[in-house]
Structure 1
Amino acid sequence: MTTIAIVGAGPGLGAAVARRFGAEGFAVALISRNQKRLDQLAADLQADGVTARGYAADVRDPESLVAALGGASEELGTIEVLEYSPIPQREFLRPVLETTVDDLTAAVEFSVLGPVTAVQQVLPGMRSLGRGTVLFVNGGSGARPNPAVAGTSVAFAGESAYARMLHDALAPENVHVGQLIIPGAIQPGHPTHDPGVLAGTLWTIHTDRGEFRTFADQLDA
């Protein structure tokens, strides 16, 4: 059995992705900061027949992220799919003229250094399998800078550039890198932004292995 590691796992999109990939036979490693919440989510998934386990880590703490991913690989199986979708913190969502150096430093740690740490940890396992997928999930500011949320706009630009370069560099190794842009909020029951719908889109990105970027919906003009 191989594993999907969901970095930023929670009761919305993370849980939906876990169920979608779990239904296809993947073990699920749930990664976020709160072990108690992870344990509850894992228990809910296990009740639905999904092999799942939680691993507490902070994406701004490289050692904890490496330990979580390493533990998941050892206990659940080699990580074939990495999905990176932690929710940005409030200080990253300030207007550009109110955004400080400290805010940007934290945002870059969150959205650039965190993904680099995660990818470097799981890539050897993907290479050993001869296949893999890395899924990046970003809001609309990942494709179009928004001065109302300057931290994410700057950091998502860096994350997008890193992910796109990975897409080109890893394609010859049968490791697909894709980015899903979700303009606006994730909303249960929404035709394009429902967590289950988005999880299905991520599954399609994984299986179809097409272009680098997919939009859940059109960006506003």
Structure 2
Amino acid sequence: MNRLEGKNAIITGAASGIGAAIAKRFAFEGANVALLDLNIDIAEKNAAKLRSEGKLALAKKIDLLDESSVIQTFGQTKELIGSAHILVNSAGIADGSPLAELSSEKWDEMMGVNLRGSFLCCREVIPYMRENQWGRIINIASEVANRGHPGLSHYAASKAAVIAMTKCLALEVVKDNIRANVLSPGPTETSMISGIDETTLSNLLTDLMPIGRLAQPDEIAGAAMYLASEEADFCVGMTLNINGGTYRI
């Protein structure tokens, strides 16, 4: 344990789901964690829980659609916990709509949060990692980016773009001892999926999931822990698929 002792980690989307699970896992592995989310009340509750257990954790509000918010929040985080060694871009949005019925506003919002937001966070954190001469960037994508699914063209496109961006970024920063990789989960039991009715969910598990169940956020956090660790030093621009067999490569 304590594989992240002395490391400072920023996790976006840390109020719930995968982001919250990753923040908790990193904290219990010894990292100082900054939980960033638009929902600051829930993020602060998560941070307070970690602090009550003896961990160094703080929460900050961030709006990924607002560049000035990203710049300001990263600056404040550096002042409070120091230069980040690890960034996890877990914040994201998802909804369903056939492309023919999709508004340009919905398309732009999806790209703004999932792709542009990840870009802004990566851009802001790279100077900190260069200061530390060590870094780990983990961008959360989705197996839908490779598998495709009706009604998710805008979501899949945003996540496919994150994968492509990370491949290029990984080559730009590898000489700085920074590793950038993608974690691509399959259907996971989070608030994004909680609105699905029981019949649809049952069909999803039967038709799509060879493993027969949804992933748990803690399982995705375990994979993120690997990519954040020294053990992942030889991983450069790769995509780690944690999907229960929905997409096999």
Specify if TM > 0.5. yes
* 1:8 and 1:85 in contact (8 A); partners too: yes
* 1:192 and 1:198 in contact (8 A); partners too: no
Runs of 5+ in structure 1 lacking a partner?
none
**Equivalent residue letter for 1:216:** I
CA separation of 1:202/1:192 partners in 2, compared to 1, >3 Å: closer, same or farther? farther
How big is the shift at 1:28? 0.6
1:19 equivalent to 2:33? Answer no
In structure 2, the partner of 1:201 is 223
CA distance, structure 1, for counterparts of residue 49 and residue 240 of structure 2: 30
In structure 2, the partner of 1:38 is 43
CA distance, structure 2, for counterparts of residue 191 and residue 201 of structure 1: 18
Aligned pair count reads: 217
CA distance, structure 2, for counterparts of residue 172 and residue 42 of structure 1: 34
1:85 equivalent to 2:90? Answer yes
1:9 equivalent to 2:14? Answer yes
Deviation per CA, 1:12-63, whole angstroms, max 9, x where unpaired?
Answer: 3222211221122211111111222222111111112221111101111111
Percent of residue pairs identical: 22
1:150 equivalent to 2:153? Answer yes
Q: How does 1:154-165 map to 2 (within 5 A)?
A: 154-165=157-168
SS at match of 1:154: helix
Under a length normalisation based on structure 1, what TM-score does the superposition of the two structures give? 0.90
The one of 96, 99, 109 equivalent to 2:99 is 96
127-136 vs 100-109, greater mean Cα deviation? 100-109
How big is the shift at 1:200? 1.2
Under a length normalisation based on structure 2, what TM-score does the superposition of the two structures give? 0.81
**Equivalent residue letter for 1:214:** L
How big is the shift at 1:192? 7.7
CA separation of 1:220/1:124 partners in 2, compared to 1, >3 Å: closer, same or farther? closer
Deviation per CA, 1:45-102, whole angstroms, max 9, x where unpaired?
Answer: 1112221111101111111111111111110111111100113143xx3122221222
In structure 1, the partner of 2:205 is none
**Equivalent residue letter for 1:109:** G
CA distance, structure 2, for counterparts of residue 191 and residue 73 of structure 1: 39
In structure 2, the partner of 1:64 is 69
* 1:99 and 1:150 in contact (8 A); partners too: no
Runs of 5+ in structure 2 lacking a partner?
1-5, 191-211
How big is the shift at 1:142? 2.5
In structure 2, the partner of 1:171 is 174
